[in-house]
Structures are given as structure tokens and as C-alpha cells.
Amino acid sequence: MKAKRILVTGGAGFIGSAVIREIINNTEHSVVNVDKLTYAGNLESLLPVNNNARYYFEQADICNSDKIKYILQKHEPEIIIHLAAETHVDRSISEPYEFIQTNIIGTYVLLEKAKDYWKNLKISKKNNFRFLHVSTDEVYGDLNGKANVLFTEETPYAPSSPYSATKASSDHLVRAWHRTFKFPTIITNCSNNYGPYQFPEKLIPLVIFNALEGEKLPVYGNGKQIRDWLYVEDHANALLHVALTGEISETYNIGGNNELQNIEVVKTICRTLDKLMPSKFEGIKKYEQLITYVTDRAGHDIRYGINTTKINKRLNWYPKEIFSTGVEKTVEWYLNNMNWCKKIKNRIN
Ligand code: NAD
């Protein structure tokens, strides 16, 4: 395949940086990273590829239409993978404004500017152009009480949180831009990601960080909420695969087939840490002793579960990692990168 120029929004974030590392390390394609660098964006996550001649960075807010237009004309991408978003559910409950702004308005601005750019491309480039919108399984709502049911691409949308409602809105905009303007879009809806370089307000890095500092490990409600966990490098690989081989107008669910209760996830991390970095804190023999149940998140969904048959069968894509191997790699990574962790933890407010 001829090397392509891929524009990634949100490339300084957790998943976006994994996508960029995947492209630079494992392909011949080049990348333009468009990121505003919010508290969640961190260029240090890109140090492994920063000096590569196929990597470019543009600091920009996706809500800024002039800047987005300029970047598209300057770099002439053949594919856009749109990940930039506000992503932390708790923050969407306390301060939803930025979620409406970036996730809905930002996606609208990006779609409009990308559509204008695409319309003026020469016919061969126009025919090969793709806009991949990266979304979440949370748009489908809660599977509580539906033990054997999984989200398929046909599951109706029923978002519960301000975060998932803004992601659902952006998915609808993307579909409308395809249907109305024939703009060549694809959507993916993915389950919970875990792995290296995740901002430590999210469950898995939070538990690792707090345990290593002998702090409480907060678990919402009774901890029995179920999520499907996907290793971030598997997700990055899936996104590139969908961007290059997916069908225009289609939606693909991406998941790891690793459904686990939050409390099981926390206990697995504790056991992994017991093995790799035994507690040196007085009175704490096992990290599990630090687990503390806290008041549940408002509107918390009980269960998400993903049916991945479509991406498995139609695009022949499968994850490589299972949770037990992925979590061990993840804990090892955080233990080996405590400087990255300490610097970024100072940003939590
Ligand atoms: P993240 O919070 O780690 O990173 C988001 C990135 O977007 C940051 O680098 C931030 O600086 C950038 N950004 C935010 N607002 C911006 C704006 N207005 N303009 C330009 N850049 C901006 O997020 P993540 O976990 O990497 O998630 C990436 C995408 O994947 C999101 O769209 C999210 O909804 C989706 N997703 C995430 C998960 C998950 O488990 N993390 C699961 C499914 C889908």
C-alpha cells in the first residue's frame, strides 16, 4: 500500500498517542497530530516518535475553524482519525460545558472544514479519502438486567452521562454528514481501554498510583459495575485497520471480550503489584487492604458488553491481548515510568 498522510486529532492523549506510535513504529505512513494540549494532552507520550521525519505536530483547538482549515490545506491528509474529546465521565458531571464544546461543536467544526477540504480534492484523492470518528460503547447505555445481551452496531442509542450524550451527539453528526453530503465517514464504538500513558484520573492508573503511594483505592458503589476491557495498543491497531480497510458509512464495535467487574479489576491490579512491587507500607501486607468503597457516581451504568462479530468477520480483526497479560504489561510499564507518572499526576485538580 502507498504511504498515506494521516491526520490524528487528540494525538497527545491516551489512545491518540498509541495510534501515532503504531503508525510511526509499524507502518510507512506519516502523521499530523492536531491537539489543543488540554490537561489530558501530553507530548511526552510521543517522545518515542517525536524525532521521526514522518511525524508533525500542530497545536490547535478543533473548535477553531480557521486554524483547522489552514492545517488541512497545509498538510493535505488522505485520512482523518478523530479522537480529540473531553473524556472523563466524572468531569462531565461536574462541568459539562467543555464536553459540549469539544465533543459536539468541535466535531461539527472538524466535519465542516474536512468536508470543504474533501470536496475540492482531485477525484482519485477524493475517492480514497476517509474520516474515521472514534466513539465509545457508552453511547448504547446500560445493559443492567440483560445478562446475555451485548451491544451490536444496531443497538439503539441511550446515553446516560453528559460525556456519553455528547459522544452520541457527535456520532449522529458524523452519520448526518455522510448521509446528507456523502462525506466518507466511518464510526467505531469501543469499550474501556487500558495500558501505558493513561491519565491517572482513570480507574486503572489511579489504582496503580494510589497503591504505590499507600493511598486509598476508591471503588464506586459496590464495585460490581461491569466493563469490557481492551488493551490500548490493540485499539490503536484496530483503528488504523478500520481507517485503511473499513467500509464507508459503516459502524464497527471494538472490544476486548474481557468483561470484568470493577472490583475484580482493582483486585487483579493489587495482586499484580503484590508480586512486582510488594508493599513497604506499615500495616499493609497486601494492596487490597487499601480498597475503600465510596459513594457511587450519579447515573452510573452497571454493565457494558460488546459484540465484536462484525469487525472480527468483515475486517478479520482480533485483539492480541487478554486482560491477565495486558494488565501485567500495564503495571510493569507504570512501574518503569514513574517519572512520567509523577509529572502528570501533578496536573490533577
Ligand atoms: P484523553 O482524554 O486521554 O485524550 C484526549 C486528547 O484530546 C488530549 O490529548 C486533549 O489535549 C485533546 N483535546 C481535548 N480537547 C481538544 C480540542 N478542543 N481540540 C484539540 N484537541 C483536544 O482521551 P482518550 O482516552 O485517549 O480517548 C480518545 C478518544 O477515544 C475519545 O474520543 C474518547 O471518547 C474515545 N474513547 C475512549 C475510550 C477509553 O477507554 N479511553 C474508550 C472508547 C472511546
Asked whether residue 22 is assigned to any structural domain, the reply reads: yes
pTM: predicted TM-score of the whole model, two decimal places: 0.97
Count Cβ atoms within 10 A of the Cβ of residue 124 and give its class: 0-12 exposed, 13-18 middle, 19 or more buried. Answer: exposed
Q: Ligand 1 test: best mutation among 21, 38, 102, most atoms within 8 Å of CB?
A: 38
Bridge partners, residue 80, by sequence: 7, 131
Query: Is 62 a pocket residue for ligand 1 (Cβ < 6 Å)?
Result: yes
Told to judge if 163 belongs to the known catalytic residues of this protein, a careful annotator would answer yes
**Residue 348 falls inside a structural domain:** no
Residue segments in the chain with a per-residue pLDDT below the cut of 50 = none
Domain coverage including residue 136: 5-199+231-257+305-320
- Answer yes or no: are the C-beta atoms of 188 and 238 closer than 8 Å: yes
* Residue 41 Cβ < 6 Å to ligand 1: yes
pLDDT digits (tens, 9 = 90+) for 134-147: 999 999 999 998 98
User: At 80, is the secondary structure helix, strand, or coil?
Assistant: strand
Q: What is the pLDDT of residue 11?
A: 98
Q: Residue 180 domain-assigned?
A: yes
In a domain, 284, yes or no: no
- CATH number for the domain harbouring residue 189: 3.40.50.720
11 located within any domain: yes
Closest ligand 1 atom to Cα of 42? 9
Instruction: Please state, in angstroms and as integers, the Cα–Cα distance from residue 279 to each residue in 203, 206, 217, 272, 296, following that order.
Output: 20, 16, 14, 11, 28
Ligand 1 atom nearest 198 alpha carbon: 3
Q: Is residue 286 a part of any domain in this protein? A: no
Inside any domain, residue 168? yes
Which atom belonging to ligand 1 lies closest to the Cα atom of 82? 32
CA of residue 282 to ligand 1 center, whole Å: 38
How many domains in the chain? 1
- DSSP letters, 213-276, are TT--EEEETTS--EEEEEEHHHHHHHHHHHHHHPPTT-EEEE--S-EEEHHHHHHHHHHHHHHH
56 labelled catalytic: no
Instruction: Read off the pLDDT of residues 216-268 as tens digits, 9 standing for 90 and up.
Output: 999 999 999 999 999 999 999 999 999 999 999 999 999 999 999 999 999 99
Concatenated DSSP letters of 14-41: HHHHHHHHHHHHH-S-EEEEEE---TT-
| Interior/surface letters 68-87, b for 16+ CB within 10 angstroms, e for the rest | bbebbeebebbbbbbbbbbb
The pLDDT, as a whole number, for residue 349 is 54
Domain-embedded: residue 192: yes
